[in-house]
Chain A
């Protein structure tokens, strides 16, 4: 769950990016954040990622007040999130596999777990056969799917996508949002920042509009979202084809995130 309570942000140059914002996003929601350039959308995301500090107000992520969070604990907070950027931010000299694996390696994952998990995630985003390709050899849509795979690989409970369709054609944009919808159905909270109103209207998701740093409209969560199962049941697992099931790392989301959550909540004992 993400909660903004009376959050304002004024940059050192005097720009008021957010003004007394109050937003609550429940676990498992899919939310579009819309607004014109300079409306405060990016600042909203930066505050969630703890790249910026609010000038006033309080922010809660998964029940933890991140406003006064110590710097050394921020990496552990970020491990519970996956970020998708408009410009993909893929490393050209690395293969698709290594770009995705990079996110696991830098948090100290074991090589065996990396290999297994990355292949599984690439299969999930439909890029299994492109594992050894370089980003430059892929289309814009494919590159964004690699970026999405990298965001997903550490099994985050929240995906933040900053203008994920900004650099790809409309058809691919639809596919990317569709893919995010599928991920959302597994219980992952999704926040998509976009200024493409047409795309937003095609999907029946919650839409929050920001203008001049203030929330000017919020459609609220569609009622059916509340019924979305957060965890995969044993029955659902049984329906997964055997060849795919074998490749799913036998690590649950809770297990993957346990270390990160412990580090955030347990204080000094879990520090690096």
Chain B
């Protein structure tokens, strides 16, 4: 039995390797993680953007460069053109002795007041006041952008694993090879298990790579592996359900697109909703995956918590499986 399961997985792998498909599928999200990780520091450092008149001199440009991005413009008209573009840029020029702060009008609230205060600070206003500003930190170096970016990509890998299964089944159905498999001694359970193996391997390989790229190298990898294994199950189940329901690629892609709705809703909801509203996401296994990986990254994981999250994922997957069991059975017949 094991031999036949391995043979089916090996067949999928071989067929995927023939046109480098599997390598490609594994590499693509990893590449994406790498690209994202490159711009996370600049997004995290984004504060204000200034377009400063050249005539104001280097001192103010140097000062403002410590606070945000500065573009030096040749005159007031160039500043106005830059300010009118879609992003938030504060224009600064001088009219006589007074600074002119040029805004489009749709900037983030209080940009005008903050810029006035910044210019006062530059000019040294109030420097003699008995006020001292100090900074300290509590040693947490992980930016929320990296944290949520990594979790989103890990969840995406579990969905992608399922996507490969569903597209594979649809292709087999269309080419008629699924019938040939059943004409062989391979049973349905062996076929399903064999087909699922890549659905585990791909998310595990990708998730570990994603965590490494985002430099979460000191997370508890045993717990991470457990969470990914459990989360892959929902991806695999989705893959089989879509694979048996869809008769063609159009249905498969559109159904896969539908799958991204609960996944995206769970991630966005988990990030944005206040804690009292989180129970509205408890129905989603993607939410529990989010919670588990979030705890791992934030270093507040315990085995009890991780097992609870995994239990929730498995229970919800089991529930979904019981709902679709008959459909999968008949669909693969």
Partners in one complex: no
